[in-house]
Amino acid sequence: MSRPLTHILRCFLVGLLIWATGCHPTQPFYLHEDGDMSHFLDKATQTEHPDVDQMPLAEVQHAEKPLTLSNPEFKEIWELSLEEVVSISLANSKIIRGGTAVRLQSGQLVAGTGEGSLTLNSVSRAFASTYDPAITESNPGNSASGPSTDAGVAGVRQGVEAALSEFDAQVSVVGNDGNGAIASHSDRPQNIPPGQAFGLPQVETTSGGLTSQVSKRTAEGTTFAFRNVTNYSRGFTRPLGFQPLESTWTTAFEVEARHPLLRGRGALINRMPVTIARIGTDIEIRSLQANLQDMLNNIETRYWDLYLAYRNLETAKVGRDSSLVTWRIIYDKWQAGTEPVQQEAQAREQYFAFRAQVEAALRELYNNENELRLLMGLSATDGRLIRPKDEPTLAQVNFDWNEILVESIARRPELIGKRWEIKQRELEVIWARNQLLPQLDVGAMYRWVGLGDDLINADRNGLNYPAVGSTAMDELTEGNYQEWGLFFSYAMPVGFRRELAGVRHAQLRLAREQALLEDMELDVSHGLTRAIRNLDANYQLAQTNANRWAASQKEVESVEALYRGGKAPLDLVLEAQRRRAQGQAAFWSAVCEYNKSIADVHTRKGSIMDYNGVAFEEGPWPDKAYWDATGRARERDAALYMDYGWTRPSVISRGPGESMAPSIEGMQLQVPGEEYYEELPTPEPTPAMPKSEEVPTPEVEPMMPEARSTMPKAKVVSSEAVMAPRRESQVAARPTPITTGPATAAPRSSSVASSNTSNPLRGNSTSSRRDSQVRPASYDEGTSE
């Protein structure tokens, strides 16, 4: 009875011991363990920093303390014209920073690129660069070594050079053994009776060989090959007396040609990968050009936004100073007991309201200046404050609708890129239809064969096989053994199911791209319509707000005179001052929006680069490329032209397009889609626009914060002087390239250039200089608060 209880007790104690100690793994014991675990990593994934040795940009390292309301001090004013801003921006742009288009919101043009856009969109690569065409051109594509590092741009997985490599001569040297060995040794017994006269009981041989070949495929699809096949054999495989030589060398030279008759025949099909790859490069170039145009439009928008910020600051300062004068008058009267405390508080509130507007305008000025610096590629703060030097135009610019509509459809880089995609799809349809043909190849081969005891000898001894000492090369060159052969191969799938699906797939892709192009053209026409409407509205608003400003100025003067005489209450004075400030701000806002609208119309019709005097061209190649191109050009010049009678397709590209504006004849600029005049006829007086001598055009210089505290008097000028645009009568010279990509970018990079002379479309004669060459003018008119 005690034995079962003892067994149960033992099991209970073992279970209790296991429960107390728990189950956990144990580490092994090492004899020379020193306890240093500094190399141990307890996490497989954690935040780390890469070991990249790249110094930060100097403009980032040496940025000074930002300008703020509490820190408004700067060293000097940097007056820049729009042409200088564009030149500096292009000189400092490897990445096209203004790649996001300007947006039209509620009648105002808003820059699409600002602080944070480049960083947030860097993963999606929304911003183009001058390296993109070269990256597309040098894409190696899929090869025997593996797939391309990227899928390629515009759906092209290889560049032109990679596509042309299919026509390069291919050299191969392989062993003749099935595994590619050049020599092998065998020693095997034979399953024959011993002593048999016609067999050997044991065969021991050494054999080897090498095949060397040079092959090349032509544009028509024919493959030519020239090869040498050399074999070596040593050992007896027959009884003594039946094999004259113990070792023999066999060599043969072959010339072979194979040509497809159906599938894969013709230069159109075989050169199609090269053409599609080149179209991919053209698409990327057009994409880069579209991004560059958006950048120029963003620069214009930021430039006039900064100009407007100066004007708004000046307007707020005028309101603040006038309200301060009013408050002091009311304060003195309140102290004398002639005015109630309510009017003093009302005047004081008006002053602080205008003061808040000054502070908000100053902050907006700093922000706009900072955004313009970002587009220019400059440091956020370098002790200088950029101030626009150009004045906005007040002249009315008229565009002929039919001409600019045609121009926008023909010149918009987005539409040109889409047409290139359609050309790609057309070629793909031709390629897919070619796959419906059976594979029918024919060819021929001719071979010279030589056999001998040795492979080659320095002297010809006249011995031929089977003599001892004969050489295979002597036998071959004597031409005793010649062979030939004809090849014929035919293959086709029954039903062509995959091939028919490929044709339908290519046709549907072509139809989709054509439909998308139609809708893109519709979208461009709608956008151009909206831009023209916005341009005309802003011009009308500028005229209306000019009259509004003039009326409010007269109202302020009359109400202040009545108030001094005790014939008007204070409310009328304060309200008149507010309306004057609102009218002045509305006028300058409409003028700046009008100038931005002009640039927006040029962007939508694809002429913004001409408008800013910017050229788009290819960057420099290596010197070896120019040397090879010159040699090929001389070779073609010395050749004879042969007309085959027809080619397919007849046209792939219509050649380079015009990028610069035509010349000037007389004083009228002959640019398709627009007309510029030195003087426009005086419009008829209307209720919104009185007689010309009554139209005020206040000439307020772009001022620094707090540079002046009084409102300049309005100046009455003639409408001809108001509406006459400033311009040059000389034609802009050919732009000097300013390469934004490195000259060593393989195989080539793109560059943008700005004109060294004034652009006749812009009208300001200034030189394009880099940041290091442009020195700001000294400013001694005042400092900011």
Indicate the range of 273-277, 493-497, 742-746 predicted with least confidence: 742-746
- Is the pLDDT at 383 greater than 90? The verdict is no
The residue to which tokens 């479309």 are assigned? 761
Looking at residue 753, what is its pLDDT? 57
Q: What is the mean pLDDT of residues 475-502?
A: 91
Looking at residue 455, what is its pLDDT? 85
Looking at residue 733, what is its pLDDT? 29
Looking at residue 542, what is its pLDDT? 93
Per-residue tokens: 414 = 């987005």
Using 50, 70 and 90 to split pLDDT, how confident is the model at 106? Answer: confident
Most confident region among 378-382, 508-512, 558-562 by mean pLDDT:
508-512
- Is the pLDDT at 620 greater than 90? The verdict is no
- Is the pLDDT at 674 greater than 90? The verdict is no
Exposed, middle or buried: residue 582 (CB in 10 Å: 0-12, 13-18, 19+)?
middle
C-alpha 659/C-alpha 418 separation (Å) is: 19
Give per-residue pLDDT as tens, 256-315. Answer: 999 999 999 988 889 888 988 899 889 988 988 898 999 999 999 999 999 999 999 998
Q: Which of 521, 279, 288 is nearest to 422 (CA)?
A: 279
- Is the pLDDT at 720 greater than 80? The verdict is no
Compute how many other C-beta atoms are within 10 angstroms of the C-beta atom of residue 121. Answer: 14
Terminal CA-CA length for the chain: 107
Compute how many other C-beta atoms are within 10 angstroms of the C-beta atom of residue 189. Answer: 10
For residue 732, the 8-state DSSP code is P
Q: What is the mean pLDDT of residues 698-703?
A: 37
Q: What is the mean pLDDT of residues 319-330?
A: 88
- Is the pLDDT at 759 greater than 60? The verdict is no
C-alpha 759/C-alpha 768 separation (Å) is: 11
Looking at residue 738, what is its pLDDT? 31
Looking at residue 709, what is its pLDDT? 30
Looking at residue 125, what is its pLDDT? 62
Looking at residue 471, what is its pLDDT? 86
Indicate the range of 106-120, 379-393, 526-540, 556-570 predicted with least confidence: 106-120
pLDDT-above-70 percentage for the chain: 75
Using 50, 70 and 90 to split pLDDT, how confident is the model at 668? Answer: very low
pLDDT-above-90 percentage for the chain: 33
- Is the pLDDT at 783 greater than 80? The verdict is no
R_g (Cα) of the chain, nearest Å: 42
Using 50, 70 and 90 to split pLDDT, how confident is the model at 779? Answer: very low
Looking at residue 530, what is its pLDDT? 94
Contact 368, 705 (CB under 8 A): no
Q: What is the mean pLDDT of the chain?
A: 76
Contact 562, 556 (CB under 8 A): no
Using 50, 70 and 90 to split pLDDT, how confident is the model at 414? Answer: very high
Looking at residue 752, what is its pLDDT? 57
- Is the pLDDT at 667 greater than 60? The verdict is no
Most confident region among 378-382, 386-390, 698-702 by mean pLDDT:
386-390
- Is the pLDDT at 463 greater than 90? The verdict is no
Q: What is the mean pLDDT of residues 212-217?
A: 94
Of the two residues 637 and 53, the one the predictor is more confident about is: 637
Give per-residue pLDDT as tens, 451-462. Answer: 888 888 877 777
C-alpha 325/C-alpha 570 separation (Å) is: 13
Looking at residue 673, what is its pLDDT? 36
C-alpha 385/C-alpha 328 separation (Å) is: 33
Contact 568, 627 (CB under 8 A): no
Q: What is the mean pLDDT of residues 34-42?
A: 74
Q: What is the mean pLDDT of residues 205-222?
A: 90
Q: What is the mean pLDDT of residues 508-524?
A: 94
Looking at residue 391, what is its pLDDT? 93
Using 50, 70 and 90 to split pLDDT, how confident is the model at 182? Answer: confident
Instruction: Say whether the peptide bond before residue 466 is cis (omega within 30 degrees of 0).
Output: yes
Looking at residue 195, what is its pLDDT? 65
Most confident region among 87-101, 404-418, 466-480 by mean pLDDT:
404-418
Of the two residues 554 and 207, the one the predictor is more confident about is: 554
- Is the pLDDT at 526 greater than 80? The verdict is yes
- Is the pLDDT at 63 greater than 60? The verdict is yes
Looking at residue 765, what is its pLDDT? 34
Q: What is the mean pLDDT of residues 102-117?
A: 82
Looking at residue 456, what is its pLDDT? 84
Q: Angle, nearest 10°, between helix axes 341-376 and 570-604?
A: 20
Per-residue tokens: 121 = 């969109």
- Is the pLDDT at 227 greater than 60? The verdict is yes
Residues 6+ positions from 460 with CB-CB distance below 8 Å: 474
Residue type, 402: N
The residue to which tokens 């856009």 are assigned? 117
Using 50, 70 and 90 to split pLDDT, how confident is the model at 741? Answer: very low
Contact 753, 614 (CB under 8 A): yes
- Is the pLDDT at 772 greater than 60? The verdict is no
Q: What is the mean pLDDT of residues 621-634?
A: 87
Q: Which of 471, 478, 439 is nearest to 453 (CA)?
A: 471
Of the two residues 23 and 524, the one the predictor is more confident about is: 524
Looking at residue 606, what is its pLDDT? 92
Instruction: Say whether the peptide bond before residue 698 is cis (omega within 30 degrees of 0).
Output: no
Indicate the range of 132-141, 404-413, 640-649 predicted with least confidence: 640-649
Using 50, 70 and 90 to split pLDDT, how confident is the model at 781? Answer: very low
Using 50, 70 and 90 to split pLDDT, how confident is the model at 615? Answer: confident
Looking at residue 735, what is its pLDDT? 31
Looking at residue 130, what is its pLDDT? 85
Q: What is the mean pLDDT of residues 103-128?
A: 76
Looking at residue 573, what is its pLDDT? 85
Q: What is the mean pLDDT of residues 719-735?
A: 30
Of the two residues 783 and 352, the one the predictor is more confident about is: 352
- Using DSSP, state whether 384 is helix, strand or coil: strand
Looking at residue 465, what is its pLDDT? 79
C-alpha 154/C-alpha 536 separation (Å) is: 38
Of the two residues 759 and 622, the one the predictor is more confident about is: 622
Of the two residues 238 and 148, the one the predictor is more confident about is: 238
C-alpha 727/C-alpha 674 separation (Å) is: 15
Using 50, 70 and 90 to split pLDDT, how confident is the model at 426? Answer: very high
- Is the pLDDT at 397 greater than 70? The verdict is yes
* pTM score: 0.74
